[in-house]
Structure 1
């Protein structure tokens, strides 16, 4: 989840107040080797973000670097000396108008995975940082340099000791085929790392999940020397015995209760605990940081976990996903389950390019390289764009496959009546994909014994096949869902305008727009608002007129909307997809058109 570092550039054109809220989301599940059905560590992660998000995947080759080379990530952060040689890595980028420091995922050629969860609102607020501190560099440098999960933990700790961490709190999951660690970094230079045990499943939403730990257990815990002293000094920890700190609880000592008790934090963990145990856990202060299970867990079950929804969510907006109380929520733009294997080439990722409950999960071998269509820039350009995205890079383009996935889930989220058919197709698709990946894995391993290069090339071909297979399946699904052709009757819409514009929804032989429900109709951006909620201020039509616009003998609906509220939470100079959400008869239907947004 992101943290905004600097004042918004003119690119965004929305008031700072709209963004000055704590980042909230992301969800992670870690399964130890002895709990995993295949004996392999599993890491499931939903990357959740607000507003306009563009995700792509890249393979960055290993590289040699010049002496004295400095790395600059965020404009205000520390410039960090580069090492002589960097590793190759798979990079899942989250591109946003002002740049995101804490959202990208990585798997490097040594099989080291890094993802993270925002755990802001801690007692560490004004601690000193050096030269601007470090943020994005933690994950990127782990990808470039770490040869193991433990090495990644040590690298991150060394970096925060030197530069200081500039966010209040965050938990990184750093894993390889042998170990998985959860590393809590706090504003300044304090840290706690805990090794997830082989016989447990660990999980967290967006509050520190590490509770009671034995700081003397240096094989499984790495912590700042003054961690307890600092909490005592600040009054957040009072040991029962001044000489015995066994009752020290990291979550209680360092996380503010407003974060621990936030609905969107506790409810998502509650959903997961209910899935694992069948019981309802209500006291968020007693939530465990991990559990030992009798039954073993498969990658498919982890996919189900991170697709979870709350039984207690009130779904009254018209959309199914309307906030953050679901594990799979309105802000989930990237979802993955990693199966970590001793030979990193065979590490497997089950991915969706959006909400895992509303898309087909498809398999990829990260170290074999990205498929054609998983990105639209080269890695160097994408790196430059991370904190300097251009309007063109953020614009809707029909030939960028990401939008096929997003469009399909946008329709499905509104058109509830179509979900049962999709769910059936999803089960069939993923069952077939599992059979195909098992076959590909077996063949690649046979090739590897003779020629590792040919095995990698084979798996790269599989990545291409798998991605284009899911793209085709999604296009077919979208074809069935897209029932409402619309036309925005303006080439540009200005965020500063107090005027109105019209949208024409064309009737078809199947859908007669004269039966439209005006009160159920909304228009606006499909991306969430800055609170990670559906934009409930999306305008209703001021009026609707019926006329045969395209002269086909059927009366069409011409809606008039206020411009300013319709384009709220959009980005200036970006070609943007805006949706008409409506109800015709008993069916909820949606349509979209593209328009350029101006200030």
Structure 2
């Protein structure tokens, strides 16, 4: 099975049901909520597939040309009108005009999926990035394509941003015999942040504010027709409850992540845990909030590295975390234990993340300099967000190759996966080694960017091409360097942590053993079984053991 077909199967499975997939998380920061006036979109793409960082160049086409839409096996599903000019994309998640798009699948009502339609959400994202200069244009392009050619996927939430504003767009199909789509889009007020995590989040929305809210003509009438909403109930129409009804299961799985993001960037709100724990009558979380302090890239990367540490849901605590406090849990998340249903928590940081990014758009700079895609492979907690300018012309080979079926040191994705998987053997110790390198590199990148912007700006005045070549070379150099450093980190970890010992700074193996807290739990669970008990003598380990 080749990697593209495997990827198609994974994504198709991902769109089947929210509760059985790895799913995704998005976080959106508006200009007024960021320290420097950036607009930022976070997208964690959580699925078990081998991604490829790449560049899609701009292109020109003749009038009347058609674009074939194919599945991941190369089969032609249909065709649409080709644009006369398409824009370059890096990632491919951000285009040359600093427009970026992220997504999370909310699933919603299964009967509204029409698999015979033409355009899946990922196809819509790519087509939209190729055809849009602004976030508003992207909203209109994506929805127009879905309405003209038919929406194929389940319910989807999109984050759409440019250097000046950000929108959240939610879309679902119209059923087996329907063609278009049902959708609503809201502009996030400046100074606020928003988030979504596999649960539709747009509830009530204004019907008479076209500058800040757009929607399909059928959004309410269709819900009434299908019995999803009764206008005589006295309740206001809410998109999320009509098309993605809440239940304790999806609230826990999805809204817990939204709560964690909001709770940590605005602790003053003291948001209750009741809603994401499914407590009846609990207050919903707002669609957007104002953070207690303005955010930069570093702060955003901190927010999306989370296992609910320091809360009642802390995944590094308890017997399930093992002796070394690992927050990672094997799938499935829903368990059957002696006929009873149990669930693991679903955090923002998950070992199943294929890639993630922080797309940063900056209005005070030329597009070629303003757009930066901070990109990372694998789990957000372990990755290293590396700056890639949106004008980058090519990507190093190590970041664009590899297969899920075969490990390779020539694949950056596999290098990052090796580090995160190996560190799970002794998480509490190894994560410190990983974060030391992570912080060193990311802090260096943050320090580099202003100098790179300034130098590129001077070159831009002389010749814009010189500036784009300069930034493209810089991006590639950092990507190459990160892949090399992470390979060195992998080799360091497997050398330092070997056979249950930990080597000191001189390379001498030290017996460290297990934490006392965990050993006490073991002895309590099996008293007198794990170790014999001596009342007067102390057990001695042979020196040559």
Q: Rate the CA distance shift 1:465–1:9 in 2: closer, same or farther, 3 A.
A: closer
| Structure 2 CA distance for aligned equivalents of residues 238 and 217 of structure 1 | 23
Q: Rate the CA distance shift 1:345–1:414 in 2: closer, same or farther, 3 A.
A: farther
Q: Rate the CA distance shift 1:68–1:277 in 2: closer, same or farther, 3 A.
A: closer
Pick which of 39-48 and 410-419 moved more: 410-419
Residue 171 of structure 2 contacts residue 182 of structure 2 at CA under 8 Å; is this kept in 1? yes
Aligned to 1:398: 409
Q: Rate the CA distance shift 1:112–1:10 in 2: closer, same or farther, 3 A.
A: closer
SS of residue paired to 1:367: coil
Shift of 1:17: 10
Shift of 1:456: 0.7
Q: Rate the CA distance shift 1:185–1:76 in 2: closer, same or farther, 3 A.
A: farther
Shift of 1:421: 3.0
Higher normalized strand content (fraction of residues) = 1
Shift of 1:147: 2.0
Which one of 39, 62, 68 corresponds to residue 71 of structure 1? 68
Aligned to 1:328: 349
Residue 271 of structure 1 contacts residue 309 of structure 1 at CA under 8 Å; is this kept in 2? no
Shift of 1:130: 6.1
Aligned to 2:178: none
| Structure 2 CA distance for aligned equivalents of residues 457 and 364 of structure 1 | 13
| Structure 1 CA distance for aligned equivalents of residues 14 and 263 of structure 2 | 35
Aligned to 1:302: 300
| Structure 1 CA distance for aligned equivalents of residues 301 and 452 of structure 2 | 21
RMSD of the TM alignment (CA)? 3.6
Residue 109 of structure 2 contacts residue 244 of structure 2 at CA under 8 Å; is this kept in 1? yes
* Unaligned residue ranges in structure 2 (runs of 5+): 175-180, 277-282, 334-344, 515-540
| Structure 2 CA distance for aligned equivalents of residues 354 and 249 of structure 1 | 35
Q: Rate the CA distance shift 1:56–1:133 in 2: closer, same or farther, 3 A.
A: closer
Matched, 1:464 2:464: no
- Residues 75-474 of structure 1: matches in 2 within 5 Å? 75=75, 77-92=77-92, 106-120=93-107, 122-123=108-109, 125-126=111-112, 131-188=117-174, 189-239=181-231, 247-258=236-247, 261-278=250-267, 279=270, 280-284=272-276, 286-311=284-309, 312-314=313-315, 316=320, 318=322, 319-322=326-329, 325-342=346-363, 343-346=366-369, 347-376=371-400, 394-416=405-427, 417-474=429-486
| Structure 1 CA distance for aligned equivalents of residues 207 and 30 of structure 2 | 21
Pick which of 453-462 and 322-331 moved more: 322-331
Q: Rate the CA distance shift 1:126–1:12 in 2: closer, same or farther, 3 A.
A: closer
Higher normalized helix content (fraction of residues) = 2
SS of residue paired to 1:192: strand
Aligned to 2:42: 44
Q: Rate the CA distance shift 1:406–1:199 in 2: closer, same or farther, 3 A.
A: same
| Structure 2 CA distance for aligned equivalents of residues 317 and 80 of structure 1 | 51
Shift of 1:295: 2.0
Q: Rate the CA distance shift 1:295–1:47 in 2: closer, same or farther, 3 A.
A: same
Residue 370 of structure 1 contacts residue 463 of structure 1 at CA under 8 Å; is this kept in 2? no
Pick which of 252-261 and 271-280 moved more: 252-261
| Structure 1 CA distance for aligned equivalents of residues 113 and 56 of structure 2 | 34
Q: Rate the CA distance shift 1:78–1:448 in 2: closer, same or farther, 3 A.
A: same
SS of residue paired to 2:476: helix
Shift of 1:202: 0.7
Q: Deviations along 1:350-399, whole A, 9 cap, x unmatched?
A: 2211222112222221322343235446xxxxxxxxxxxxx968533322
Residue 37 of structure 2 contacts residue 362 of structure 2 at CA under 8 Å; is this kept in 1? no
Aligned to 2:52: 56
Aligned to 1:542: none
Residue 70 of structure 1 contacts residue 81 of structure 1 at CA under 8 Å; is this kept in 2? yes
| Structure 2 CA distance for aligned equivalents of residues 134 and 429 of structure 1 | 37
Shift of 1:49: 0.8
- The normalised TM-score by structure 2 is 0.75
Aligned to 1:560: none
Pick which of 64-73 and 340-349 moved more: 64-73
Pick which of 206-215 and 82-91 moved more: 82-91
Shift of 1:37: 0.6
Aligned to 2:519: none
Shift of 1:259: 7.8
- Residues 560-599 of structure 1: matches in 2 within 5 Å? none
Shift of 1:170: 0.2
Q: Rate the CA distance shift 1:164–1:435 in 2: closer, same or farther, 3 A.
A: same
SS of residue paired to 1:115: strand
Shift of 1:469: 2.3
- The normalised TM-score by structure 1 is 0.69
